[in-house]
Amino acid sequence: MENNYFIKTDSMNEKKSYLSQPNMIPLQDIYTMSIESEADIFSDIPLSLFSESSGRQISSVMTKFKREYIRCICQKESTLVMPKLRCYEDEEGALVVQLASSWKSGNASLYFAFEKDEDESSFGMVWNDDLKRNFESRSGSIVLNNVDEIIHEVLDFIFRVY
C-alpha cells in the first residue's frame, strides 16, 4: 500500500479571479438586465464604447466594468442614486470616461483615459472628504495592471465613496 498524501504535479494552480466565477452574469446579459435608472451610471455614455469598433482596449475594459458593476448592483438590497459616467475627448486626443461628483465638503472622481497608443492608457481615482479629512488617490497604467484587479479596485472605490 502506498501513501499518497501529496500528489506531485508539474503544474501550478492558478489563482481564480472572482470575475470568472460561475455565478457571473453572461456577457450578453449586460444589455438586457435592467437596473434602476438612479443606479445606472452607464446611461449617458455611447453604446459604441462597448463594441470593438471603438477599440479593443476600450470595449474590453468598459464591458468588464459594466458587467461587474451590474452584478454588484443586483446583489445590493438598497437603491443607490449614482452620478452618471460622462465621455469626452481631452486636449491630447485621449477618450476619457469619467465619474465625478462634488458635495459641500468634498469631491470624488474616477476616470479611464484611453489613449491612441494603448500602452499610454491609464485609470485613476481621487477622493477628498474635508469633513472626515479623508484624502485618497490612485492611478496607474491599464496595460501594466491586471484589468480584473483594476475593475475590483474601481468598484471598491465607487461603493465606498458614493
> Could you report the per-residue pLDDT of 54-100, keeping only the tens digit for each?
899 999 999 999 999 999 998 887 678 899 999 999 999 999 999 99
Is residue 18 situated within a structural domain?
no
* Residue range 107-125: mean pLDDT, rounded: 98
User: What's the domain range around 134?
Assistant: 24-161
Residue 6 confidence (pLDDT): 41
Q: Is the pLDDT of residue 145 over 80?
A: yes
Write down the pTM of the prediction.
Answer: 0.78
Cβ within 8 Å of residue 27, ≥6 positions away: 63, 67
Whether the CB-CB separation of 109 and 129 falls below 8 Å is answered with no
Is residue 6 situated within a structural domain?
no
User: Cα–Cα distances in Å, from 158 out to 22, 25, 94, 96, 119?
Assistant: 24, 20, 23, 17, 25
How many domains does the chain contain in total? 1
Is residue 34 situated within a structural domain?
yes
Distance separating the N- and C-terminal Cα atoms of the chain: 61
